[in-house]
Structure 1
Amino acid sequence: MNHALPARQTLLADLATLADCARAEGFACIAARREHGAQSVDIPGPQVAILLQGRKQVSSATQLLAFEPGDLFLTTRACRIDVINTPDAASGLYLTAVIPLCAEVLEAARLLWAEPLPQPGQALARLPIEEFATALPLWRQALAEGRYAEARLVLAGMVVTLCRRGHGSLLLPPEPTLATQVQALVADQPERDWQSRDLEQALSLSGATLRRRLAAERTSLRQLIVEARLARAMELLYTTRWPLKTVAARVGYRSARSFSQRFQQRYGLDPARIGNQLPD
């Protein structure tokens, strides 16, 4: 008798309950109700995503991966991907639990490793959830009980396990960039009317220095503000059922139409295609 499928279904059902857990932090449940694709989606850093319902296809410049419920989607470093998300035929829902591997988790894993770094491996990987059938319930229970230090400790152990299996990029500290700092500031307050002087003050830089350093990183202040706002908008479109005009306002757009146009230009996706919005 094959017990693998029932065990997988039980674990997925257990993880799915976190979507309604008021005390859960450090993860997001991404939902969609229509099939859709998005281009050039930036993943800001290491994360683990667990497909709970539906199907997912991911492609980068060098990799093409397909996921089904019970697959773990590992991103070992910042990257840009194209995705196609397909809801489950029976439930009509696409659902993924995304767990960003925060700086505290990664630093703890580096301390636990205490030996030469392993090979970096690929940026993207597909793994069966059964490989973490012990760790994930412990993580979920700690989150549900508000024991966030214990939850991070479980994730640090998972990172060490992943590195043993050839995903050493997780232990490589990211190179700090000014662009990353700018995007983090904007992402915290995407509705704010950000001006250069605001960021100059926050970063203790002159306007000329800010522009020069961003140019050296092949970007601009305007581009970073737009991308940070749209990335936050994508998160809201997946994690809430707000109407488009509400999402647009939350990320600094006065017009839902101009927001939709800019979003489609950036991702090749009409934001309404995600299908979560309730009627206005």
Structure 2
Amino acid sequence: MSALSAIDLRQSRRAEFRSLVSERAIIVLVRAGRKTARRDHRQLELTPARIGILEAGAPYTVQNHPPEEGAYRASALLVAPETIERLQQEVPARGDAFHTTGDDRAVAAFERATAALSDPLLPERLRENAVREVLLWLAEADIRFGPPQADLVTRLRRLLVQAPDQGWTTAAAAGQLALSEATLRRRLAAEGTSFQDLLADIRMSCALGLLQTGDLPVGRIALEVGYSSPSRFALRFRDRFGLSPSQVRRPQNDRNGTELARIGTTPGP
């Protein structure tokens, strides 16, 4: 998985997605419509031409609101924890993750970073430098990511998201984390979760990203996230998000799907 990537999404149907967690920090620029993201009794609201952030490892309730005519559209930069850590060593810690900015210079830097990340021939150090410029403009606007999390749940999520279609077992994941299976089970239980719950959530979140940022058939998406049965996948998806996979792409009062475009290689909320 690339440390940095960019995505574009379109969504015609208004929907609310609860407890979404990203393994990477996200910088969002809304192009049409409105995005709200709630966490810890606070709300981030983004309108067109404004930039905000979603922190990694934190559960958000996200709503994407299409405009009266057309689809909700946004672009996002997905940033690895290491990139943020390197910047935080140089820039004093200040700012608020719930601030937004519409500064033309920050938006221009965002567009340059999007172009850089969509160029597969550009060296990684130049790709990171383009994202770094965006982070610096955000810091100037008092928008700042908190310290990247390194707890066990975060480490496990980062492992599972790399291959959600793999036939993961608790023992296999524990081995990758240099833990015994019993220790992993015990520590997850202490966090109020289980391996199977985390795996299911990772798979559903990845599926949501694929639906929002690509045009793969639903059956193919089911396979991409580890389900051989599309009907079982659709049932699990509805249980998790309250609507079917096809409804994510379908306008509220229209049976036609929505046009989706994708940049880069990694989906996000």
For the residues of structure 1 that align with 2:24 and 2:118, how far apart are their CA atoms?
A: 24
Alpha-carbon offset, residue 97 of structure 1: 0.9
Residues 86-235 of structure 1: matches in 2 within 5 Å?
86-90=65-69, 92-113=70-91, 115=92, 117-118=93-94, 121=96, 123-145=97-119, 146-147=121-122, 148-168=124-144, 170=145, 172-235=146-209
In the alignment, which of 26, 39, 47 is matched to residue 60 of structure 1? Answer: 39
CA contact (8 A) 1:139 1:150 kept: no
In the alignment, which of 40, 54, 61 is matched to residue 19 of structure 2? Answer: 40
Alpha-carbon offset, residue 134 of structure 1: 4.1
For the residues of structure 1 that align with 2:180 and 2:86, how far apart are their CA atoms?
A: 35
- Greater RCO between the two (CA within 8 Å, min separation 6)? 2
CA contact (8 A) 1:36 1:85 kept: yes
For the residues of structure 2 that align with 1:176 and 1:133, how far apart are their CA atoms?
A: 30
Deviations 1:169-192, CA, capped at 9 Å, x for gaps: x2x432312222222222111112
Deviations 1:146-166, CA, capped at 9 Å, x for gaps: 333223123223323333433
CA contact (8 A) 2:100 2:143 kept: no
Secondary structure, counterpart of 1:125 in structure 2: coil
Alpha-carbon offset, residue 258 of structure 1: 2.0
- Rg larger in 1 or in 2? 1
CA contact (8 A) 1:37 1:269 kept: no
CA contact (8 A) 2:36 2:64 kept: yes
Find the counterpart in structure 1 of residue 249 from structure 2: 275
Secondary structure, counterpart of 1:127 in structure 2: coil
Secondary structure, counterpart of 2:164 in structure 1: coil
- Alpha carbons of structure 1 residues 264 and 144: separation in structure 2 relative to 1, 3 Å: closer
Deviations 1:26-85, CA, capped at 9 Å, x for gaps: 111122232322222224443211112333233334223443321212224542222222
Alpha-carbon offset, residue 254 of structure 1: 2.2
TM-score, normalised with respect to structure 2? 0.80
Find the counterpart in structure 2 of residue 6 from structure 1: none
Find the counterpart in structure 2 of residue 84 from structure 1: 63
For the residues of structure 2 that align with 1:161 and 1:126, how far apart are their CA atoms?
A: 11
TM-score, normalised with respect to structure 1? 0.77
For the residues of structure 2 that align with 1:54 and 1:212, how far apart are their CA atoms?
A: 44
Alpha-carbon offset, residue 223 of structure 1: 0.9
- Alpha carbons of structure 1 residues 141 and 40: separation in structure 2 relative to 1, 3 Å: closer
Unpaired segments ≥5 residues, structure 2: 251-256, 259-269
- Alpha carbons of structure 1 residues 77 and 233: separation in structure 2 relative to 1, 3 Å: closer
- Letter of the aligned partner of 2:128 in structure 1? R
Alpha-carbon offset, residue 261 of structure 1: 2.1
CA contact (8 A) 1:39 1:268 kept: no
Q: How much is the aligned-residue C-alpha RMSD, in angstroms?
A: 2.5
Normalized per residue, which structure has more helix?
Answer: 1
CA contact (8 A) 1:40 1:267 kept: no
Alpha-carbon offset, residue 226 of structure 1: 0.7
CA contact (8 A) 1:34 1:273 kept: yes
